[in-house]
Amino acid sequence: MTCIVGLVEGSTVWMGGDSAGVAGLDISLRADPKVFRNGDLLIGFTSSFRMGQLLRFRLRPPLRRPDQDLFHYMVCEFVEAVRVCLKEGGFAHRSNDVETGGFFLVATEGRLFSVQDDYQVSEFSRGFHAIGCGAHYALGSLYTTRDLPAEQRVRLALETAEHFSGGVRAPFTVEQVGPACLTLAA
């Protein structure tokens, strides 16, 4: 299920997501969005609506020290807060001493990060990324539309994913976040 698209344009990150809820061969349109704000963060998720609900309503992202690199913060402090949130919320899974969560994108301070189910944090040099069953279609669209405005590229990527994937459905939510930061005051 799902297609979540993130695109960096200057110091702004655009993110869009579909509304499909998929269970086996059944599909429904959900009213609760897969792309939302949590403080200064813009988050878009796949994997589970429960995980998305925890990230939206229960996660309290820690503040970043002014001298701390943003990627370091995401890998250490942010992901640790996510792990605790998902574990306490009953979502994190443990098997063979390996803990897993789910897949989601995070935009903050003009940058786009992907968090995978093993809590690995990725940042891609190409300036865009997509996750979910429609990701490959969306990535192709983003690559071929690089001369168009950002919001249009995100919408076209989602429409392309919907056209080719049975697990992606409109309506689409598209949001943007600017360069605000989550640092502690000096």
45 within domain boundaries:
yes
26 within domain boundaries:
yes
Neighbours of 24 (CB within 10 A): 5
Token couple for 82: 């996510």
Which residues have C-beta within 8 Å of that of residue 137, sequence separation ≥ 6?
3, 157, 160, 161, 163, 164, 165
CB 51 within 8 A of CB 34: no
181 within domain boundaries:
no
- Total tally of structural domains belonging to the chain: 1
The CATH number of whichever domain residue 117 belongs to comes to 3.60.20.10
Q: ∠ CA 22-150-14 to the nearest 5 degrees?
A: 55
Q: What is the pLDDT of residues 123-147, one digit of tens each?
A: 999 999 999 999 999 999 999 999 9
85 within domain boundaries:
yes
107 within domain boundaries:
yes
Q: Find, among 158, 46, 49, the residue nearest to 106 by Cα.
A: 46
**136 vs 16: CA distance, rounded Å:** 15
10 within domain boundaries:
yes
* Domain span holding position 16: 4-169
Cα dihedral 129, 30, 25, 138 in deg (nearest 10) = -20
**73 vs 111: CA distance, rounded Å:** 13
Looking at residue 184, what is its pLDDT? 52
Percent of the chain with pLDDT over 90: 87
Whether the predicted pLDDT of 20 surpasses 70: yes
Give strand pairing partners of 37: 42
Indicate the pTM of the whole model: 0.94
Q: What is the DSSP letter of 117?
A: T
